[in-house]
Amino acid sequence: MLAMFHGARFGLLGPLQVLRGDGEILVPAPKHRAVLAILAINAGRPVSVERIIEELWQGVEPKFARKTLQGYVWRLRRVIGGDLLTRGGCYELRGAPQETDAARFERLLADGRGALLARDPARAHRRLGAALALWRGPALADVPASPMISAYADRLEEARLMACEAALEADVELGRHAEVIPALREFTAAHPLREFSQALLMLALYRSGRQCEALTVYGRLRALLIAEQGLEPGMAVRRLHQRILTADPGLDL
């Protein structure tokens, strides 16, 4: 689902996307995309001209930065029309933050994680699958970086990783522990310091009758954490390790 502001719809979970009706509107100029992204991140809230200038040029703005920004906004209005408002010394994109595809993703993620806490892995799997399906690539991938845009994209990327882990957890709790091991191995190889996914891999291996492999995963994680951060694994992972060592029946599905 894309953000919808009256006539235009905007997608943030991937390259910046602008659609009207059944067609996609191209915004080829990088600075234009940056302005539009800043306003879409703050949909429904005014953003001062000074803040936009700082985001676009980060302290090395051109001599006529305000007039240049006005030109960007004028061209964007030709694309999206009355959805881009001027309010005093601010610009605002009509709509509300909760209408964006990113906000919908975060709602689905919260719902999926809530379903896991409620021990409803089937619902969790559906909601988390729908959340991850919204992604088309790295958030705002074709937008020039700025402090605001980078921070927003980083926050969304962390949320995406949490959604991936929660979806894998739902698979394990649905009894698909053997089938999900390859995906867990791939995820943990890409993100070796994320203890939660390493613990999921340990549990999936153990439930698949591969206790020794589960203990090996813990050993590798512990060695890596000590080498990289000078820390032991967290309490939850250490407890899981001990329960696997003693073949705790409570670990069975």
- Which residue is listed with tokens 């020039």? 144
pLDDT in tens, 163-195: 999 999 999 999 999 999 999 999 999 999 999
pLDDT in tens, 1-15: 455 445 567 889 999
* 74 and 18 together in one domain: yes
* 182 and 252 together in one domain: yes
* 141 and 247 together in one domain: no
pLDDT at 7: 59
Does residue 77 sit within a domain? yes
pLDDT at 98: 63
| CATH number, residue 152 | 1.10.10.10
* 5 and 125 together in one domain: yes
Does residue 139 sit within a domain? yes
Of 163, 192, 223, which one is at a domain's C-terminal end?
Answer: 163
| % of residues, the chain, pLDDT over 90 | 78
Q: Tell me how crowded residue 185 is: count the other CB atoms within 10 A of its CB.
A: 15
Q: What is the DSSP letter of 6?
A: T
* 182 and 158 together in one domain: no
**Residue 92, H or E segment:** strand 90-93
Beta bridge partners of 3: 10
* 127 and 60 together in one domain: yes
Domain total in the chain: 2
Does residue 170 sit within a domain? no
- Residues in CB range of 131: below 8 A, 6 or more apart: 105, 108, 109, 112, 163
* 157 and 189 together in one domain: no
* 113 and 81 together in one domain: yes
* 155 and 238 together in one domain: no
| Joined tokens for residue 70 | 């006005």
Within 13 A of 46's CA, how many CA atoms are on the CB side? 10
Which residue segment(s) compose the domain that 131 sits in?
1-163
Please give the span between the terminal C-alpha atoms of the chain, in angstroms, as a whole number.
35
Taking the C-alpha atoms of residue 30 and residue 13, their distance in angstroms, rounded to an integer, is 17
Does residue 168 sit within a domain? no
Taking the C-alpha atoms of residue 97 and residue 172, their distance in angstroms, rounded to an integer, is 33
| CATH number, residue 214 | 1.25.40.10
Of 105, 134, 163, which one is at a domain's C-terminal end?
Answer: 163
pLDDT at 6: 52
All residue ranges of the chain with pLDDT < 70 are 1-8, 96-99
* 47 and 144 together in one domain: yes
* 51 and 136 together in one domain: yes
pLDDT at 65: 93
